[in-house]
Amino acid sequence: MPARPRRPSARVATRTGDAGETSLFGKERVRKTDPRIEALGDLDETQAVLGLARSLAPRSSLGRELLELQRGLYVVMAEVATPRSDLGRLKERLDGAAVARLEKVLEMVKKRTPIEGRFVIPGENRFAASLDHARTVARRAERRVVECVDEGYVSGEDLLPWLNRLSDVLFVMARASERGARSPK
């Protein structure tokens, strides 16, 4: 079998950030302490923790649901990384329909899982704990995006409701995954 042609690999170490700056989409250079970069770091961490949760999913259907959340999160990240003047260059943006889809997932999971009005101690099983970890990181990322909205860098019209629903979905998914894991009292 002939060897597949190699694609040029992306440069990982570009050295363009060595002086504490990085690029937004559209090539605008900003300090790495810029609120958008801070938000992107937390969104990236959310992405990674969701990937961990997906790797622990006991059923492929849950893994597919988490993959869809990760895809939505990439759209959020693209919007945060893009200066408002360049948003028209994005191929995909969040809209009210994306928020509605997430609300539908939330209602579907809530229907299957009664949510008790009590504080939760995470850790009934690894998958639930990973979802709770993802939820807490998503909430931190949401707070960072709120800061970007407050400073006028991004529009929060659909981003903020979507991020808020994301943490809600992760909470109810974690509770649903605990249902069969609890030991009888």
Q: Does domain 22-114+121-177 have CATH number 3.40.50.720?
A: no
User: What pLDDT, on the 0 to 100 scale, is given for residue 97?
Assistant: 95
* Alpha carbon of residue 44 to chain centroid: 7
Domain boundaries, the chain: 22-114+121-177
How much is the average pLDDT of 7-24?
Answer: 69
68 within 8 A of 130, measured Cβ to Cβ = no
In the structure, what pLDDT confidence band is assigned to residue 114 with cuts at 50, 70 and 90? confident
The CA distance from 169 to 166, in Å, is 5
159 within 8 A of 99, measured Cβ to Cβ = no
**pTM, entire model:** 0.85
In the structure, what pLDDT confidence band is assigned to residue 85 with cuts at 50, 70 and 90? confident
The CA distance from 48 to 141, in Å, is 13
